[in-house]
Structure 1
């Protein structure tokens, strides 16, 4: 059996704001749709499932991010995930210029949780709060192998 990662899905409160944030960082919007119907109810496990979705892709074509904004049932607001909580809590991106990426994030009101760290002169990295409280990790490789 073979397996490959298809995408990471994230529910957001404001689809347009999330698309703007991730496309400004460099992801490409592949498409948008509205999903509903029996197939969506069955696949997702929610009766009356109805959502607006957008699929984005990294420039290298290897990573995809699916964003979805619920129309029905109502989206449930939760406290933002903390880095040490069990479960899925972040999406990570490699960037060529972390300072430029942070300037782009700041234009969307998104800032590092604490600051930018350097890991063993190999990476500069940070966690920040993206749209809808999503934790986004940005990492710039300092040394190429």
Structure 2
């Protein structure tokens, strides 16, 4: 059997704000749609679901995010996850300039949870709260191969 990661799906409160954040970081918006009907109810396992969606790709075309903004049923607000909670942990991106990426994130009101750390002189990395409180990791490789 062959298996391939297709995408990571994230439900957001404000689709436009999330698209703006991720496209400013360098992802490309490749598709938008509104989905509903029996096929989505069956696939997602949620009766009456109706959502606006957006598909974004990383510049290399290998990473894909699918963002969902639910119209029906209404999205359920919850406390943003903490890094040690069981479940979806974070979405991570390699960047070539972490300082520039953090400047872009700051324009969207997104800042590191604590700061930028260096891991064994290999990476500078940080976790920040992205749109809808999701955790986004940014990592810059220090020793380019």
Give the TM bin, normalised by the shorter chain: over 0.9
Residue 71 of structure 1: aligned partner = 71
Partner Cα separation in structure 1 for residue 131 and residue 89 of structure 2: 13
The number of equivalent residue pairs is 145
SS state at 1:18 partner: helix
1:140 and 2:140 are equivalent in the alignment:
yes
1:144 offset after TM fit, Å?
2.0
Task: Output one character per residue of 1:39-83: Cα deviation in whole Å (capped at 9) or x when no partner.
Answer: 000000011010000000000000000000000001000000000
1:2 offset after TM fit, Å?
0.2
* Residue pairs, 1:105-144, within 5 angstroms: 105-144=105-144
Partner Cα separation in structure 2 for residue 12 and residue 89 of structure 1: 15
Partner Cα separation in structure 2 for residue 144 and residue 19 of structure 1: 29
SS state at 2:52 partner: strand
Q: Which runs of 5+ in 1 are unaligned?
A: none
Q: Which runs of 4+ in 1 moved over 6 A?
A: none
1:89 offset after TM fit, Å?
1.9
Report the TM-score when normalising by structure 2.
Answer: 0.99
Partner Cα separation in structure 2 for residue 46 and residue 88 of structure 1: 19
